Amino acid sequence: MPRRTGRLLPYAVAALTLGALLVLPSHEPVPSNVAHASTAAQTVRMATIHFAPEEGKVANNRAKMVELTTNAASKGAKLIVLPEMATSGYSFFSRDEISKVAEELSGPTTAALSAVARQYKAYIAFGMPVFEPKTNLYYNSAVLLDPQGQVKGTYRKRNHLLESSYNADSFDRIPTFDTEYGRMGLVICSDMFNSQFPRAAAVAGANILIAPANVGIETDFVRVRAYENDTTMIVSNRYGKGTAGTKPEVFTQNTFTIPSPFPYDFNFGSRSVIMTHDGNPVVDISGQNEEVGVADVLVPRKRTFPVERKPAMYSLLAQDTLAPYTRSQFRQPAPATFAAAAVDPGAGTAPWTAALTAARKAKQDATAAGKKLRLIVFPANYLPGRDASGLAALSAFATSEGTDLLIHFPATGADAPVSTLLTSDGKTYDYKRTHKKRGEPITGLSNDYLVIDRDYGRLALMQDVDMLAPETAQVLARMGVDVVAMNADGTEPVRSGMWKSRTGDYLHIVTANKSGPEGIYLGGYRADPPFTETEGQVIRDVTTGDVREKPSARFFDATQLLEPCQAATQSC
């Protein structure tokens, strides 16, 4: 993969193609010799291997993989992960090129690493290009070996980009495999950037997610994926540089080439990470040197998602609303650029008055900066409850100043909190929260998202707890939402990374947080900087045309996200 940061690059999104195929069933029955009936947490020594495969030098890479894997296993590691395309390097741009480095699954690399797995009784996961003679197809694959040296399973990369020049599409579910250390799931590299892939593994019961990679990635991004799924993650990455490929003037189906727009550079932000389920990076390697990162990780058998899922609300994920022609008929408001503000008036004894004062200041500041302010978002739990005179004053401001206001009323007893949009044309829309945190004593939740077409864009009213579930952002994208206006009140450190991640679904997010900084996070990969966070007030221009493309995870069976959790040891 070329450089990334936790958000897909523009050209990569445009080229998005996905697929997968398994050698074994996705939910393998537990062998009789696997003793993990207990739900008690278990400490597992894990290793991530950080090294630079040499492009095209398979024998050299194989020898290095054996050396580094033996190093990790000799230190007691029982789960060892190597990078994506570790046998070959990454810079291949045609079937002809990949044919020179691909192996059959039962080939020499699997045999060499199987010997290490058997000797040290360890699980080993590694990436390699696999050739399937029966179909004459090639796959960017991840292979998982068990402690007996047998192939436990494979995964074929779905979210492949320029690899489409050689990598065949496939369609099976995200694989998970029962082991004595827990259920392991497999993805590869950019699959992590679509939250559906890790989520599917987690819903299927995986409490350890393995991700061979060749990518620039942020530690905070890995923390988000681990947190939202309550899953330990092992990312094994590489460093070094590759090539861009060259397009021939005359070619066949085998020499047909899709070159990169730039030479691959894996030296920037290429991290190998072991992240605990609760967001602690016990290994975090980002240098340009070979390194074997080993850590003892406590892996809970009983997993609890931080927000209770509501699969019945996610049905749109199984509908192809984002096909280009279908998307062109969404009839959204015309693309526009407007200013939005996230505002926290601060603590005080007169919150309604303070809110009106803060709204006036935001309007003045926007006007002074030459911006046309159309939306102001206030924090959750800032206003203590409905007040007729205060509501009238804010409504009058909205109509006189041509600016929509999103306010929030806290829960009343067991009833869910409500977000209220006061519009510039005198209308009022109420949105009741749909999701709750694990164990939160709220019963009166809504079962419907609320999306409103305003003249400046398609707007979703949202509360922060709702957006902690990754499925929410995906559903909103499938409805053509441009902007998420979100009331917030939370202190979890993962929040900033969470909202950055959600913009990967091509959404702009405007959020005011009573207990933390305000922020505006821009989707579409066109704005620089892509987000602004500060305490008190954030004002930024938002361009709805930047998020109208709405790419989605192709070749992904969304029905696996519409099912209840498949492991008795998890609450989701």
Helix H segments across 379-469?
388-401, 464-467
For helices 108-120 and 58-74, angle between their N-to-C axes, nearest 10 degrees: 10
Inside any domain, residue 99: yes
Residue 269: C-alpha distances to residues 198, 249, 367, 564 (Å): 21, 35, 39, 36
pLDDT at 570: 79
pLDDT tens, position by position, 439-451: 898 889 999 999 9
Inside any domain, residue 131: yes
β-bridge partners, 108: none
Q: What is the CATH number of the domain that holds 414?
A: 3.60.110.10
Checking if the pLDDT of 105 tops 50, the result is: yes
Round to whole Å and give the CA distance between 317 and 560.
Answer: 10
Checking if the pLDDT of 26 tops 60, the result is: no
Residues 396 and 293 in one domain: no
Residues 117 and 219 in one domain: yes
Residues 243 and 382 in one domain: no
Q: What angle do CA 97, 18, 314 make, to 5 degrees?
A: 170
First-residue to last-residue Cα distance in the chain = 32
Regarding pTM above 0.85, the answer is yes
Residues 349 and 258 in one domain: no
Residues 188 and 175 sit within 8 Å (Cβ to Cβ): no
Q: What is the mean pLDDT of residues 122-126?
A: 98
Which tokens in the block code for residue 451?
């999306």
> Model confidence at 224, in pLDDT bands (50, 70, 90)?
very high
Give the Cβ contact number of residue 100 at 10 Å: 11
Phi, psi of 463 (to 5 degrees): -120, 155
Domain range spanning residue 354? 336-547
Q: What angle do CA 188, 470, 332 make, to 5 degrees?
A: 110
Residues 122 and 175 in one domain: yes
Which tokens in the block code for residue 373?
């302010």
Q: How many CA atoms lie within 13 A of 502 on its CB side?
A: 35
pLDDT tens, position by position, 339-375: 999 999 998 889 999 999 999 999 999 999 999 999 9
Round to whole Å and give the CA distance between 374 and 343.
Answer: 13
Residues 497 and 447 in one domain: yes
Residue among 142, 164, 157, 155 at smallest CA distance from 92: 164
Q: Peptide bond preceding 529: is omega within 30 degrees of 0, i.e. cis? A: yes
Counting the structural domains of the chain, the total is 2
Inside any domain, residue 320: no
Residues 88 and 129 sit within 8 Å (Cβ to Cβ): yes
Residues 458 and 512 in one domain: yes
Inside any domain, residue 328: no
Q: What is the mean pLDDT of residues 261-283?
A: 95
pLDDT at 554: 80
Residue count (the chain)? 572
Residues 146 and 287 in one domain: yes
